[in-house]
A = this chain, B = another copy of it.
Amino acid sequence: MDDRREPSLLFLTDEQLKKGIEAMYFAYRGFTADPDRILEKYGYGRAHHRAIHFIHRSPGTTVNNLLAILGVTKQSLNRVLRTLIEDGLVESRVGKRDKRERNMYLTEKGISLEGELAEAQRARMRKAYRDAGPDAVQGFRQVLEAMMDAEQRRHFNLLKDPE
């Protein structure tokens, strides 16, 4: 019998897995740091950011669809949407086919905040990609996708892919 193993298996020591876990923890804090600073200026939190992001991403999306993507309760999402509608960042239109549904759209003001948040986050991602080099980006995306729950991966893949 050949005693040698695939390097791809040998490689996965508990210590190295732990470093991956810690990297994920510290990186996520960096990932949210810039938007958090911007949101604070306007008196919003991460929940508002998530709603704004996914409404921008899929204009006209329904409450139910947002609930499925975000994985929170109706009451929790509703509190956030109500604030954004009151503040004039989001517009809720009664559904054309099914009038029970509400289709969500960003207003000019909403688009403007979305842009500010997205650009801050893209800037960090751009820097991380450039620092890590082009080969790293592919691996980064592959591991993240493999880390998702099936349900989340489904939502992720339903979002429009660049070209």
List A residues at the B interface (Cβ < 8 Å): 7-9, 11-31, 33, 50, 57, 71, 118, 121-122, 124-149, 152-153, 155-156, 159, 161-163
Q: Contact between A143 and B122 (Cβ–Cβ < 8 Å)?
A: no
Question: Which one of B28, B132, B146, B162 lies within 8 Å of A128 (CB-CB)?
Answer: B146
Residues of chain B contacted by A121 (CB below 8 angstroms): 21
Tell me the minimal C-beta distance from A22 to chain B in angstroms: 6
Q: Whole-angstrom distance between the alpha carbons of A142 and B118 in the complex?
A: 22
With A118-B18, A125-B21 already in contact, the answer to whether A26 and B140 are too (CB < 8 A) is no
Interface of A is mostly: helix
Can you name the residue of chain B whose Cβ is closest to the Cβ of A145? B23
Q: List 7 A-B contacts (CB under 8 A).
A: A15-B163, A19-B159, A24-B31, A24-B144, A26-B155, A132-B146, A135-B139
Q: Contact between A26 and B129 (Cβ–Cβ < 8 Å)?
A: no
Can you name the residue of chain B whose Cβ is closest to the Cβ of A127? B146
Q: Whole-angstrom distance between the alpha carbons of A131 and B8 in the complex?
A: 11
Residues of chain B contacted by A13 (CB below 8 angstroms): 162
Q: Contact between A142 and B136 (Cβ–Cβ < 8 Å)?
A: yes
Tell me the minimal C-beta distance from A111 to chain B in angstroms: 14
Q: Whole-angstrom distance between the alpha carbons of A61 and B50 in the complex?
A: 36
With A139-B136, A153-B26 already in contact, the answer to whether A129 and B162 are too (CB < 8 A) is no
Residues of chain B contacted by A136 (CB below 8 angstroms): 138-140, 142-143
With A15-B162, A128-B143 already in contact, the answer to whether A28 and B26 are too (CB < 8 A) is no
